[in-house]
Chain A
């Protein structure tokens, strides 16, 4: 049985192909200006990475998630990324009870039960703080090549700057002021990471943040954010080998369930 999950997020498209519950191939690529082209491109690439010579129309079931989940013509069904992240993280780490997912445009805190079902969640509202976009803006102003390169630099700081604004635009202004005061670049970067983690921690107030906690999404590749999340929450966060595909993986797992149901019927 061959199924796929496709996650079209704000910044990147991800696809995972599952063959009998085993990840057979996956792909990640930027969304670009056209979500349909991105969807076709990423699923084709994921299928190619399986080493099987198969086309998308031969898949038994495709389930889409992410912002553009309802626009993917070749998907049989859709589910929200929150449901999919819960399923995906639980599949890789069955002891998962709490997830922080930080993507390009949003961040989520998810409580998970022993079956990988979402039982409570909070998602950011109209605010980019605590998202990949926030870190990208800061990386740009601090002349760091990419967001993931910022993490190791943040870890070198002994005295992170205090960035008090939770608004991306105002935080950028704060950085400009602090930079003018001659603050060290690594301390500024560390301050940015701590501010981002702090924002996510505030957002998750009211949820049961208990181990095992898993950190997913593209931002989970950033070691600095992981460190400050652990400081803020007071628990360790596990990061799956490829945290960016967890939503697509969850979608593929749900797709597999649908196929099983169809077979039973």
Chain B
């Protein structure tokens, strides 16, 4: 019998047989999330307006997020042991725990809620408000990503985890939010100490001591995970997880290659769905994501060959740090202003901008640490600027939009220096844009429009002027 949710799930790439075989799980999930027929209608209109549903790959990607949501919401009832990690995360330990037991569910629940309750249902606010009411109050400069996690648990729509992998790898507030979950619900927690600071100019090199230290931290966290979950990590868990995620990484590289085209073949709104999935799911979401990507790569390849894109040919090309995780309207403002966005920082870290790991290590922790250290996020401002420089050449960029939020220390602290050095090193304009990438309540699309449109006009004028000089 048809359910009130069938049309929306079909729109989000579910096949009829998938809906039928999962009907009871879908129903149970929607009940828990308090999503009724009216929500489906509203979500249907929202998805059609803000996602490129003419691409089957995009619809499947939305479906991949919904599948991750179902697995997350029902994990406890289905007897899983649950592990949460923060975003952006050192993904390796989570992947290894996930690969070691079918009974363990490992995910970044805040990102799952952002991409489903935000990007699909446009109903994230009550969850954020629950986070605010449970230890992360408004007006106290709390990150809304962590509010989503705490709020989701507090509202009882996502389960209390059995183990938390906390890391100040990128953000020190994430591990503090995990502290809060531990304090409220008694969740065992393992902290992976961050060693992000490196000497200016050190990257792409780095001291082996840093790998050893971080590796020891990861090994300790894995041991604690084994104890908390009552599992034994398989000796080949890292190889298994790396191998299983290889198609995803390979496809990301292909997608980055397709985004070199002018016009760019797809909105960065859709690629954000991909890059976030790669850092949030270790289970069905990522597996379904691989299938979606296979379709998407073919579709975009066709668009590129036909010269079809989402912005005008010759539009100024800008790189952004990250697409909005919960509200597609915010990212769309950039494209609505006539700017092509071929790359984000995270996407770039997969496609040709990452350096190859060096050195030989034996323990899982060290192997993961060595891999993580090849990414710019682990090395502070200087390494990030190196990545942006490489991206400039790869993507033929005309400028950068460096988003920051006043209460996000990793990005707010470097925003001024980053703008200055980027302008110096690349000679390209940088728009330093205050934005909350996880919550559009205070930084709505409309509030950003004037800055983005002015920047777009500046870049167009520069291009016109450069083409006149070329002509002369």
Contact of B442 with A126 in the complex, beta carbons under 8 Å: yes
When the two chains form their complex, are residues A206 and B457 in contact, meaning their CB atoms are under 8 A apart?
no
Question: Are A81 and B457 closer than 8 Å at their CB atoms?
Answer: no
Which residues, 416 to 451 on B, are CB-close (under 8 Å) to A? 416, 419-420, 429, 432, 434, 442-443, 447, 450-451
Taking a contact as CB atoms under 8 Å apart, the answer to whether B434 and A126 are in contact is: yes
Q: How far is the CB of A136 from chain B (nearest CB, A)?
A: 21
Task: State whether A119 touches B458 (Cβ < 8 A).
Answer: yes
Is B299 in contact with chain A by the CB < 8 A criterion? no
Nearest Cβ on chain B to A80's Cβ, whole angstroms: 4
CB distance from B330 to the nearest CB of A (A): 14
| A:81-128 near B, CB below 8 Å | 81-83, 117-123, 125-126
Asked if residues B443 and A82 are in contact (CB atoms below 8 Å), the reply is no
Whole-angstrom distance between the Cβ of A35 and the nearest chain B Cβ: 13
* Interface membership of A79, Cβ < 8 A: yes
B434:A206 contact, CB within 8 angstroms: no
- Centre residue among B432, B434, B454 by max chain A CB count within 10 A: B454
| Chain A residues, CB < 8 A from B450 | 67, 80-82, 123
Q: How long is the Cα–Cα vector from A52 to B447 in the complex, in angstroms?
A: 38
> Does A205 make an interface contact (CB < 8 A)?
yes
By a CB distance below 8 angstroms, the chain B residues around A118 are 454, 457-458
- CB of B44 closer than 8 Å to a CB of A: no
Contact present for A120 and B429 (CB under 8 Å): yes
- In contact, A79 and B429 (Cβ under 8 angstroms): no
Question: Within 8 Å CB of B454, what residues of A?
Answer: 80, 82-83, 118, 121, 123
A125 to B451 alpha-carbon distance, docked (Å): 10
Please indicate the chain A residues that have their CB under 8 angstroms from the CB of B457 in the complex. Answer: 79-80, 83, 118
**A118-B429 Cα distance, complex, nearest whole Å:** 12
Q: In B442-470, which residues have CB < 8 Å from any A CB?
A: 442-443, 447, 450-451, 453-454, 457-458, 461
How many residues of chain A are within 8 Å of chain B by beta carbon? 17
Residue of A nearest to B447 (CB): A126
Per the bound structure, the CA–CA distance linking A78 and B446 in Å amounts to 15
Residue B4, interface by CB 8 Å: no
Chain B nearest CB, measured from A119 CB (Å): 7
A209 to B86, CA, bound (A): 42
- The answer for the CA separation of A190 and B434 in the assembled complex, in Å, is 30
B185 at the interface (CB under 8 A from A): no
A86 to chain B: closest residue by CB: B454
What are the residues of chain A within 8 A of B453 when measuring CB–CB?
79-80
Is residue B361 within 8 Å, beta carbon to beta carbon, of the partner chain?
A: no
Q: List, in ascending order, chain B residues with CB within 8 A of A82's CB.
A: 450, 454
In the complex, what's the smallest C-beta–C-beta distance from B243 to chain A, in angstroms? 45
Q: Whole-angstrom distance from the CB of A219 to the nearest CB of chain B?
A: 18
In the complex, the answer to whether B420 meets A206 with C-beta atoms within 8 Å is yes
B434 touches A117 (CB 8 A): no
Residues of B in contact (CB 8 Å), total 17
- Residues of the B chain whose Cβ atoms lie less than 8 Å from the Cβ of A67: 450
Chain B proximity of A84: nearest CB distance (Å): 10
Interface positions of A from 176 to 219, Cβ below 8 Å from B: 205-206
CA gap between A257 and B442 in the complex, in Å: 36
Residues from 19 to 66 in A contacting B, C-beta threshold 8 Å: none
Give Cα A71–Cα B279 distance, bound, in whole angstroms. Answer: 40
**Closest CB in chain B relative to A88 CB, distance in Å:** 14
Cα distance A75–B84 in the bound complex, in angstroms: 52
Chain B residue with minimal CB distance to A120?
Answer: B429
CB within 8 A of B451: which of A120, A123, A206?
A123
Measured between beta carbons, the chain A residues less than 8 angstroms from B416 are 205-206
CA distance A126 to B435 in the complex (A): 10
A122 to B406, CA, bound (A): 15
When distances are taken between beta carbons in the complex, the residues of chain B under 8 Å from A122 are: 432
Q: Which residues of B contact A121 (CB under 8 A)?
A: 451, 454, 458
Which residues does chain A contribute within 8 Å of B443, judged by CB atoms?
126
Chain B neighbourhood of A83, CB < 8 A:
454, 457
Instruction: Return chain B residues, CB-CB under 8 Å to A205.
Output: 416
**Given A80-B453, A123-B450, A126-B434: A206 touches B419 (CB 8 Å cut-off):** yes
| Most-contacted residue by chain B among A80, A83, A120, A122 (CB, 10 A) | A80
**In the bound complex, how far is the Cα of B452 from the Cα of A123, in angstroms?**
11
Q: Which residue of B lies closest to A65 (CB)?
A: B450
Give Cα A81 to B450, complex, Å. Answer: 8
B156-193 contact mask (Cβ, 8 Å, vs A): 1 or 0: 00000000000000000000000000000000000000
Q: Quote the shortest CB–CB distance from A169 to chain B (angstroms).
A: 11
Minimum CB distance partner of B457 in chain A: A83
In the complex, the answer to whether B419 meets A125 with C-beta atoms within 8 Å is: no
Which residues of chain B come closer than 8 Å to A125, judged between CB atoms? 406, 434
Query: Closest chain A residue to B429 by CB distance?
Result: A120
Residue ID in chain A nearest B458 by CB atoms: A118
- Cα A117 to Cα B457 in complex, Å, equals 10
Q: How far is the CB of B400 from chain A (nearest CB, A)?
A: 13
Instruction: Give the distance in Å from the alpha carbon of A120 to the alpha carbon of B420 in the complex.
Output: 12
In whole angstroms, what is the CA distance A182 to B105 when docked?
A: 64
> Complex Cα distance A215/B186, Å?
58
Which of B432, B450, B453 has its CB near the most chain A CB atoms (within 10 A)?
Answer: B450
Task: Give chain B nearest CB distance to A245 CB in angstroms.
Answer: 19
Contacts of A119 in B (CB 8 A): 458
**What distance in Å separates the Cβ of A147 from its nearest Cβ neighbour in chain B?**
23
B401 to chain A, nearest CB (A): 14
A223 CB to closest chain B CB, in angstroms? 28
Measured between C-beta atoms, what is the minimum distance from A263 to chain B in Å? 20
For the complex, give the distance between the alpha carbons of A117 and B461 in Å: 8
In the complex, what distance in Å separates the CA atom of A188 from the CA atom of B458? 40
* Chain A residue at smallest Cβ distance from B337: A80
CA distance A206 to B406 in the complex (A): 18
Q: List 16 A-B contacts (CB under 8 A).
A: A67-B450, A79-B453, A79-B457, A80-B454, A82-B450, A82-B454, A83-B457, A117-B458, A118-B454, A121-B451, A121-B454, A122-B432, A123-B454, A125-B406, A126-B442, A126-B443
Question: Which 3 pairs across A and B sit closest by C-beta, in order of nearness?
Answer: A125-B434, A82-B454, A80-B454
Q: A80-B454, A117-B458, A205-B416 are in contact. List 15 more A-B contacts (CB 8 A).
A: A80-B450, A80-B453, A80-B457, A83-B457, A118-B454, A119-B458, A120-B429, A121-B458, A123-B450, A123-B451, A126-B442, A126-B443, A126-B447, A206-B416, A206-B420
